[in-house]
Chains A and B, each alone.
Chain A
């Protein structure tokens, strides 16, 4: 072997060693199921085409919030992690999040005007205006409906009803009644008109019924006639009208499974279900959620935050910037996981015409029926727990909504007063 071959091999080894040393490792903590993780792995593969020297490790715990908190407390936080807009307040107050402002200013192509209005503001410090998280995507709730069942029953679809201006919650009830069936006549309902995880997601209804229940961070008012009306209406879908699986039925089969197994004609959830429903063996579509006194849909808004104690904030920022940039957002559009946070992508064919094989109306998600996310209130977790727990007797029919709301109000006031 001549000397230059040895030198070449030496050089190669050196280069490889340098490459290994240069490779940086950061972690990304996410929630969701195995399907979401697969999707995120796809995003990371694209990221590594641009930044081959940054390795990203995915952390996906079963119980996201306790684990995130525990890792921060243990001094070993993930570098980048998901952060909901309500939880942001707590984590920011605790000082667990990295101030991204300097990175934003040093990144010329980070066009803040391209983000949907208000979405960046949810992750700013209220005083300094500094950015502590970049919205990764967002989602509005929509009605998923089984097109074949509507055709079979000869009914106009929710999208058509919305077009006629006949799509209030009471119209949904009427449609659901026609779609609810006891096929074998054993007195047990086999197909429901509607399925909804109402014990966890009742929050969709009160604002549509005119309840202004979150008035300020320290003022949460649930003891109003409108709130009671909304909750009672929702409970009665299962209890009185029997067009929706009740608490017991949901314990055995979750709401999305009722829909996916063709045992419910309509179902309400956010965009992420599109990804799960991609492979369903029947034709389905999405439509706007019903309205009543107001138009309202729930908005889920999630950001990437960087940990204050991150050992490699530069790499973390590169990841965040890539995933929230035009390229990353196009992949979000294709995945059916959420709505792109960048308007330029959301209004482009990348999202509007995404998943052409499904033939669904993606643009339904963009109907601007609500302007901004719900105002965040203090003691978010504890108050949700209190309301959810207080409403349980309503869902089972033991009590009326109007009966329990004063008790819930008292509990909320107590939590807020304790501070």
Chain B
């Protein structure tokens, strides 16, 4: 084979790869751009073909209108409270459990761990009704308790976080704790002063997963909350869904979507390294 033809082939391959990569990248970003663009138009500008990408003039007042039409501040506040509450709970309890499962020997450890892992097969969607009934019995319907406590204790997906952290703790060499044990440190102490500092990247991943899960949660709050003042963002923006109300105010709907998507993207861009590390830790090892 001629060297030249090999290089030509290779150049072609590179060119095709780049073309594909850019094509897909554009498809990924376009919906976001279109969302923002639509949110800055007047309603009659929305209905134009071919599409007009840059709204002229951009109508920032659409956003003021959104805040008039719905209690966005309240939805944000609720989402923030729920997200922080769940993150705190999962950070503490899932980490502790993960450490115990990874490093402490106690009878029944493996059984409990596999039970917990098995819960990953039980999505919340199959428990909608009994969860509603349970929350009703606890008197938690339409309260922050219902929104925070179960997830904070690692139910509905927390098992994944336990798994993630356990995998990480397993990779830490035993020597780190052995000298501490000989010095008479208790497991709590070892956990606190040796394991936690070492686990920082994994903890970052945990926090981000926890954040993403809580911020985007939809079905669960749909079931356990009723009133507008307890709504989280994902439910609140449906005030614009409007099939039933017969509304098709696309510019306002896109504005509301923008306001609920942007914070998450912002956090992601800051913390993306841990994000991707977290997935790979969870996905790699069976």
A–B proximity contact (CB within 8 A): yes
Shortest beta-carbon distance, B113 to chain A, in Å?
A: 35
Q: Which of B136, B245, B248 contacts A33, CB < 8 Å? A: B245
Given contacts A74-B142, A76-B141, contact A254 B248 (CB under 8 A): yes
**B50, CB-defined interface residue at 8 Å:** no
Contact call A62/B239, Cβ cutoff below 8 A: yes
**B267, CB-defined interface residue at 8 Å:** no
Contact call B44/A70, Cβ cutoff below 8 A: no
Task: Mark each residue of chain B from 67 to 90: 1 if its CB lies under 8 Å from any CB of chain A, else 0.
Answer: 011100000000000000000000
User: Which one of A4-12, A107-115, A255-263, A376-384 is at the interface?
Assistant: A255-263
Which residues does chain A contribute within 8 Å of B44, judged by CB atoms? Answer: 261
Contact call A60/B69, Cβ cutoff below 8 A: no
**B47, CB-defined interface residue at 8 Å:** yes
**A73, CB-defined interface residue at 8 Å:** yes
Which residues does chain A contribute within 8 Å of B135, judged by CB atoms? Answer: 74
Which residues does chain B contribute within 8 Å of A61, judged by CB atoms? Answer: 226-228
Which residues does chain A contribute within 8 Å of B241, judged by CB atoms? Answer: 62
**A59, CB-defined interface residue at 8 Å:** yes
Shortest beta-carbon distance, B32 to chain A, in Å?
A: 21
**A55, CB-defined interface residue at 8 Å:** no
Q: Which of A71, A253, A256 contacts B226, CB < 8 Å? A: A71
Expressed in whole angstroms, the Cα–Cα distance for A75 and B142 within the complex equals 11
Q: Which of B70, B141, B248 contacts A74, CB < 8 Å? A: B141
Expressed in whole angstroms, the Cα–Cα distance for A254 and B238 within the complex equals 17
**B3, CB-defined interface residue at 8 Å:** no
Contact call A197/B238, Cβ cutoff below 8 A: no
**A151, CB-defined interface residue at 8 Å:** no
Given contacts A34-B69, A73-B136, contact A257 B238 (CB under 8 A): no
Contact call A70/B247, Cβ cutoff below 8 A: no
- Mostly helix, strand, loop or mixed at chain B's interface? loop
Expressed in whole angstroms, the Cα–Cα distance for A200 and B244 within the complex equals 9
Shortest beta-carbon distance, A271 to chain B, in Å?
A: 15
Which residues does chain B contribute within 8 Å of A254, judged by CB atoms? Answer: 242, 246-248
Given contacts A74-B226, A252-B47, contact A62 B238 (CB under 8 A): yes
Given contacts A61-B226, A67-B226, A254-B246, contact A75 B47 (CB under 8 A): no
Contact call B248/A34, Cβ cutoff below 8 A: no
Contact call B247/A63, Cβ cutoff below 8 A: no
Total interface residues in chain A, CB < 8 Å: 24
Contact call B43/A76, Cβ cutoff below 8 A: no
Shortest beta-carbon distance, A144 to chain B, in Å?
A: 14
Which residues does chain A contribute within 8 Å of B245, judged by CB atoms? Answer: 33
Shortest beta-carbon distance, A198 to chain B, in Å?
A: 12
Q: Which of B43, B142, B246 contacts A256, CB < 8 Å? A: B246
Q: Which of A34, A62, A75, A200 contacts B136, CB < 8 Å? A: A75
**B132, CB-defined interface residue at 8 Å:** yes
Expressed in whole angstroms, the Cα–Cα distance for A251 and B250 within the complex equals 11
Contact call A34/B141, Cβ cutoff below 8 A: no
Which residues does chain A contribute within 8 Å of B69, judged by CB atoms? Answer: 33-34
Which residues does chain B contribute within 8 Å of A200, judged by CB atoms? Answer: 246
Contact call B227/A257, Cβ cutoff below 8 A: no
Contact call A197/B136, Cβ cutoff below 8 A: no
Total interface residues in chain B, CB < 8 Å: 25
Which residues does chain B contribute within 8 Å of A197, judged by CB atoms? Answer: 246
Which residues does chain B contribute within 8 Å of A76, judged by CB atoms? Answer: 141-142, 226
Shortest beta-carbon distance, B257 to chain A, in Å?
A: 15
Contact call A70/B132, Cβ cutoff below 8 A: yes
Q: Which of chain B's residues 138-187 have a Cβ closer than 8 Å to chain A?
A: 141-142
Of chain B, the residue at the smallest CB distance from A32 is B245
Expressed in whole angstroms, the Cα–Cα distance for A73 and B246 within the complex equals 28
Q: Which of A59, A63, A257 contacts B248, CB < 8 Å? A: A257
Contact call A59/B142, Cβ cutoff below 8 A: no
Contact call A63/B244, Cβ cutoff below 8 A: yes
Expressed in whole angstroms, the Cα–Cα distance for A107 and B248 within the complex equals 45
Task: Mark each residue of chain A from 249 to 282: 1 if its CB lies under 8 Å from any CB of chain B, else 0.
Answer: 0011111110001000000000000000000000
Shortest beta-carbon distance, B233 to chain A, in Å?
A: 13
Expressed in whole angstroms, the Cα–Cα distance for A67 and B70 within the complex equals 18
Of chain B, the residue at the smallest CB distance from A70 is B226
Expressed in whole angstroms, the Cα–Cα distance for A63 and B142 within the complex equals 15
Expressed in whole angstroms, the Cα–Cα distance for A63 and B44 within the complex equals 28
Contact call A253/B248, Cβ cutoff below 8 A: yes
Expressed in whole angstroms, the Cα–Cα distance for A261 and B251 within the complex equals 15
Shortest beta-carbon distance, A141 to chain B, in Å?
A: 14
Expressed in whole angstroms, the Cα–Cα distance for A254 and B141 within the complex equals 35
Q: Which of chain A's residues 39-71 have a Cβ closer than 8 Å to chain B?
A: 59-63, 67, 70-71
Shortest beta-carbon distance, B251 to chain A, in Å?
A: 12
Which residues does chain A contribute within 8 Å of B47, judged by CB atoms? Answer: 252-253
Contact call B228/A255, Cβ cutoff below 8 A: no
Expressed in whole angstroms, the Cα–Cα distance for A75 and B226 within the complex equals 12
Expressed in whole angstroms, the Cα–Cα distance for A60 and B70 within the complex equals 11
Expressed in whole angstroms, the Cα–Cα distance for A252 and B48 within the complex equals 12
Shortest beta-carbon distance, A280 to chain B, in Å?
A: 13
Which residues does chain B contribute within 8 Å of A33, judged by CB atoms? Answer: 69, 245, 247
Contact call A255/B136, Cβ cutoff below 8 A: no
Contact call A59/B70, Cβ cutoff below 8 A: no
Expressed in whole angstroms, the Cα–Cα distance for A70 and B246 within the complex equals 24
Shortest beta-carbon distance, B202 to chain A, in Å?
A: 39
Q: Which of chain B's residues 239-270 have a Cβ closer than 8 Å to chain A?
A: 239, 241-242, 244-249
Task: Mark each residue of chain A from 286 to 305: 1 if its CB lies under 8 Å from any CB of chain B, else 0.
Answer: 00000000000000000000
Contact call B228/A59, Cβ cutoff below 8 A: yes
Q: Give the most central of A33, A74, A76: most B CB within 10 Å.
A: A74
Expressed in whole angstroms, the Cα–Cα distance for A253 and B136 within the complex equals 40
Task: Mark each residue of chain A from 331 to 369: 1 if its CB lies under 8 Å from any CB of chain B, else 0.
Answer: 000000000000000000000000000000000000000
Residue contacts A-B, CB under 8 angstroms, 11 given: A33-B69, A33-B245, A34-B70, A60-B228, A62-B235, A71-B141, A71-B142, A75-B136, A76-B141, A257-B248, A261-B44
> CB within 8 Å of A: which residues of B?
43-44, 47, 68-70, 132, 135-136, 141-142, 226-228, 235, 238-239, 241-242, 244-249
Known: A59-B228, A74-B141. 14 other contacts (CB 8 A): A33-B247, A34-B68, A34-B69, A59-B226, A61-B226, A71-B141, A74-B135, A74-B142, A76-B226, A251-B248, A254-B246, A254-B248, A257-B248, A261-B43
Nearest 6 pairs of A and B residues by beta carbon: A74-B141, A254-B246, A74-B136, A254-B248, A34-B69, A59-B227
